[in-house]
Amino acid sequence: MSLFDLSGKRAFVTGANTGIGQGIALSLAEAGAEIVAAGRSAMDETLGLIEAAGGTGAECRVDFLDKDAAVAAFEAAAAERPIDILVNNAGIIRRADAVDVTDEDWDDVLGVNLRTPFFLAQAFARAALAGGRGGSIINIASMLSFQGGIRVASYTASKSGIAGLTKLLACEWAPRGINVNAIAPGYIETNNTEALRADAARNTDILKRIPAGRWGEASDIGGTAVFLASAAARYVHGAVIPVDGGWLAR
């Protein structure tokens, strides 16, 4: 059996309706995993792509700003059949000068991007440990887990927190057979970056900084997620892997 074969595994992927989450869900399905595609929006497109690739998946509608609802949705899915892979991808961003950030924007971004992922990881680990199983948690970090950014104070704080949390959970759970790692995407072709790509000057500036000379695709992140969820990564714990075309190396 291939080290990268995920047949028989079940993955709970948050924010799977579009972009990076959709790419991860599809890649995991192509590797053999059954997908629970979770998010606020309909998952018709994602589930259609999974089915076309010969995989299986189901929709789970939940708002990740509501931590308790998110945990309840995960626990309900795990009660049907154990979850082997958790992908904490759902996230939001609010842009403002640091002097203008509001309490609401701060709390919303930290809630979706950091608070809920932690409690989903906690629920995953509790179930895995109670069942005597291991598993894989993959958090989605950011270039701003390493850099400061501009006008995204709450987002930078949340993604820096994800990097630290990934390491903390790895230290606690690696001895128990749970791998906790993170992926830090660079500039990826998604709906969220469409405006940047449409801005000729900004697009040129970005591409000049990327040694690979192109924007990333969601499947580039998906391939890394397959690796981290597979037996090939069984000795990988607490890593925050940049998938950025060399952006940080420049």
155 labelled catalytic: yes
Contact criterion met (CB below 8 Å) for 115 and 67: yes
68-115 pLDDT per residue, tens: 999 999 999 999 999 999 999 999 999 999 999 999 999 999 999 999
Share of the chain above pLDDT 70, in %: 100
- Check whether 22 has a pLDDT greater than 90: yes
Dihedral over alpha carbons 147, 150, 153, 156 (to 10 degrees):
-30
162-195 pLDDT per residue, tens: 999 999 999 999 999 999 999 999 999 988 788 8
- Check whether 156 has a pLDDT greater than 90: yes
**Phi, psi dihedrals of residue 214, rounded to the nearest 5°:** -155, 160
Average model confidence (pLDDT) across the chain: 97
Residue 192: per-residue pLDDT: 78
| From 12, 64, 124, 155, active-site residue | 155
* Furthest CA-CA distance within the chain: 55
Q: How far apart are CA 217 and CA 212, in angstroms?
A: 12
Residue 88's contacts (CB-CB under 8 Å, 6 or more residues apart) are 14, 116, 117, 120, 121, 137, 138, 139, 140, 162
Nearest CA-CA partner of 161 in 126, 121, 134: 121
Residue 208, classified by CB atoms within 10 Å of its CB into exposed (0-12), middle (13-18) or buried (19+), is exposed
- Check whether 1 has a pLDDT greater than 80: no
Instruction: Give Rg (Cα) of the chain.
Output: 17
Domains of the chain plus CATH, in order, are 10-245 (3.40.50.720)
- Check whether 196 has a pLDDT greater than 90: no
Place of tokens 């809920």: 116
Mean pLDDT of 218-247: 98
